[in-house]
Structures are given as C-alpha cells and as structure tokens.
Amino acid sequence: MMDKMVIKIMGLLLTGNRITESSGEFESLTGFIQPANELAKVKNQSLLTMLPILRKVPGCNLKNLYDALKAGKIDLRHCFLNGTEQSMRGLVFMLRSLRVTMEMEGGESWIDDDFIMGVVMDLIPAAIVPLQNTISVLFLVLVHNPAVQDKIREHLTSLNADVTIDDIQKLPYIEACILELKRFHTPLPVSARHCNRSGDAIIEDYNIPKNTEIFSNLFGIHHDERFFNDPWSFKPERFIAEDGSRVGPEHPVMKNMVVTGVGPRRCLGSTFSEKVIFLVVAMLMKNFRLCPNRQQELPLCDPRKFTSGIVTKSPDFTCVFQPYML
Ligand code: HEM
C-alpha cells in the first residue's frame, strides 16, 4: 500500500497531475523501479563487478533484470516525455520550459530530451526507495509507541483546522517525531561517494590526500552515544527545547543530524521528503489508531535488526488501522 502511495507521489512530482494505479505512468514507474531495485542490491552489484558478462548470459537472472530495466527505460520515455507534452505542471514540464527560455535567450540549450530522461531516471530510485522504507519504519515505530500516537493527536487537535503542508512549523512535536524517525532509522546508512578532487584536505587530525574516496557512516553517527544519548531508543523529546519548541539549528542534536548528507552533494529531496512524511503522519493520526495485528508477531523495532543495503529496510509486517475521529 505504501509502495503504491509513494509511486503516486513520484508521478505527481514528475507530471504535476495525480496518477492512478491504472495509468500508464504508474505502470511505467513500477516497471522501472522493480528491476532497478533488484540490480542495486549489494549481492547483485558485487556479482556484476566481478563478472560483468553475466548481464549478457541468456537465462541468467541478471540478464533478465537488465532486459527488464532497458524495457522500463523505453516505457518511461514514452510515458513521461511523450505523455506529458500537454501538461503545464510538474518537473518534466519545468525542464522543458527552461529549455525554451534558454533557446529564446541565447540560442541552443543543453537541456535535451536525453538530459530530462537522465534526471527522471536518477530521481526515481533516489526518491521512491528511501521514502517507501521510511514510511514503512514510521508505521512500525507508531505501532510500537501508542503514547507517541496519542501525543501527535493531542498536537493535531490544537490546530483546529485541516492540516496543510505549511503547518509543520506550528507542530514542533510532529517535526521532532520526523527528525527522530530519520535519525533512528537512517534510511541511507552510508552516504554517496565523495572525493576531494581539488587537493589534499586536513580535517582535525586527519590528512586526506587528494582524490581519496570517502563514504560517511551516517548510521554510525546517528547511533553514537557521544552524539545522541540512548541512541537505540525512539525519543522525539531529544529534539524539543524546554519551552516546547523544536530545538534550533545550533543545538548539538541538530548539528549531528546527517540523515540526508551534508554539503553541496546533500540530498536534493530533503525538504520534499520531510513534507511528504509530515502529511502522511498528520493524515494518518487524524483518522486512525495504528495497532498491532494480533494474528501475527510484530517484528522488533530495532534498526540493528533491519535488513541492510543501500537503503535499510524494516522487516515485513502487518498492522491494523482502527478508524479514529479527532
Ligand atoms: C527519507 C527520504 C530520503 C533520504 C533519507 C535521502 C537520503 C539521501 C542521502 C543520504 C543522499 C547522499 C548525500 C551525500 O552523500 O552527501 C541522498 C542523495 C540524493 N537524494 Fe535523497 N533521500 C531521501 C529522499 C529523496 C527524494 C524524495 C529525492 C527526490 C525528490 C531525493 C533525491 C536525491 C538525489 C538526486 C541525490 C543525489 C545528490 C547528488 O549526488 O548530488 N532523495 N539522499
């Protein structure tokens, strides 16, 4: 259910229109993300690094995945470049408009259809997979913490109006829950590759020679007792100041938050994902109480037990949505 919801959000971002499960856009996003996800698994990446020929061996699963990805790319192009020709909203339209403006101002534009497809294909896995997994961990955290659900509801009642995307700042406890969710889970445990191409760098006592590849251990930072007290517990309160507001950017807990990386290569969907998660939490808690499914054992809510990979995944579980009226 969550996976489908996030695919629809991605469709909205790209086309500016709501997409339904029976639409070509939905099918095309799903058809691309499935093989892309499988190929990104550490096991498959390691195999392909050692034996790249496997992508061409008939009958081999890796070849099937490559073929599916190739077909997915063609379908995406068809749907998002040809299909959104008339749409006046969304990222694809925005890039096309930019191309027209550049051409009008100074001749040729480097934003051709291949460039737009590159952006679309980069964004799909970068956005869909971490968001899907974050929302799944959010549900697990809420089922395990009914007191947090009650407190979120208490804060929502204080609004006395329908929640909108801009209300996040008025609801510091919910903002704190989202920050704590991101810290606790750390969807991408390791940053992307960074490299000091311009020269040697000295950081504190470390000398980092030019061209060293660096991957930051984001999960390690978020679960280090030197930076976060009692790091394996889910405690939104660590982000709340004494006066009930959200702690400021200079507070040590905020300075040590690196969930979406830091610097110029920082995640560009950081604010977008925060707003999506905020709306999911608010809408969900306004209408439902999340309870464990008594027919099934509820997995532990411990990120050390989650499945590691490029994006950390919680175990599969089911829960009950009990209707609730604020
Ligand atoms: C909970 C959700 C998300 C998390 C935890 C997350 C986390 C990250 C992290 C850790 C990086 C690497 C940053 C670095 O190495 O310094 C990254 C990069 C990136 N993210 Fe996200 N991300 C999320 C959602 C999104 C969304 C929704 C989008 C797009 C709408 C997106 C687009 C990107 C892109 C394009 C990059 C590569 C930036 C670059 O290499 O210059 N992400 N993300």
What is the pLDDT averaged over residues 114-139? 93
pLDDT of 252 above 60: yes
What is the pLDDT averaged over residues 134-144? 97
- Residue where the block lists tokens 């790209």: 14
All structural domains of the chain with their residue ranges = 1-111, 129-326
| pLDDT of 85 | 56
Could you tell me the pLDDT band of residue 293, with boundaries at 50, 70 and 90? very high
Nearest ligand 1 atom to alpha carbon 273: 27
| Closest residue by CA, ligand 1 atom 30 | 269
CA of 291 to the centre of ligand 1 (A): 31
CA of 136 to the centre of ligand 1 (A): 18
Mean pLDDT of the chain: 91
pLDDT of 86 above 70: no
Residue 14 to residues 67, 100, 103, 175: CA-CA distances in angstroms?
Answer: 24, 18, 22, 26
- Alpha carbon distance 243, 261 (integer Å): 29
202 CB contacts (<8 Å, ≥6 apart)?
208
Using CA atoms of 125, 129, 130, 135 in order, give the dihedral in degrees to the nearest 10: 150
- Alpha carbon distance 112, 89 (integer Å): 18
pLDDT of 39 above 60: yes
Q: Which of 24, 271, 256 lies closest to 131 in space, CA to CA? A: 271
Rounded to 5 degrees, what angle do the CA atoms 72, 73, 74 make? 90
The model's pLDDT over 207-246, given as tens digits with 9 standing for 90+, comes to 999 999 999 999 999 999 999 999 999 999 999 999 999 9
82 CB contacts (<8 Å, ≥6 apart)?
none
| Closest residue by CA, ligand 1 atom 16 | 261
- Alpha carbon distance 66, 62 (integer Å): 6
Is 291 labelled as part of a ligand binding site?
no
Pocket of ligand 1 from Cβ distances under 6 Å: 122-123, 126-127, 130-131, 134, 187-188, 191-192, 259-261, 265-269, 272-273
pLDDT of 84 above 70: no
CA of 137 to the centre of ligand 1 (A): 17
What is the pLDDT averaged over residues 127-143? 95
| Closest residue by CA, ligand 1 atom 41 | 265
Most informative mutation of 2, 123, 260 for ligand 1 (most atoms within 8 A of CB) = 260
Nearest ligand 1 atom to alpha carbon 13: 30
- Alpha carbon distance 33, 219 (integer Å): 25
Q: Is residue 246 a contact partner of residue 176, using CB atoms and an 8 Å limit?
A: yes
- Alpha carbon distance 100, 121 (integer Å): 22
pLDDT of 181 above 80: yes
- Alpha carbon distance 280, 268 (integer Å): 20
| pLDDT of 234 | 98
275-286 in b/e form (b: 16+ CB < 10 A) is ebbbbbbbebbb
Could you tell me the pLDDT band of residue 53, with boundaries at 50, 70 and 90? very high
- Residue where the block lists tokens 């639409």: 23
133-144 in b/e form (b: 16+ CB < 10 A) is bbbbbbbbbbbb
Residues pairing with 207 in the sheet: 202
| Closest residue by CA, ligand 1 atom 21 | 267
Q: What is the CATH superfamily name and number for domain 129-326?
A: Cytochrome P450 (1.10.630.10)
| pLDDT of 106 | 81
Tell me the three-class secondary structure of 160-226, residue by residue: CCCCCHHHHHHCHHHHHHHHHHHHHHCCCCECCCEECCCCCEEECCEEECCCCEECCEHHHHHCCCC
What is the pLDDT averaged over residues 35-61? 89
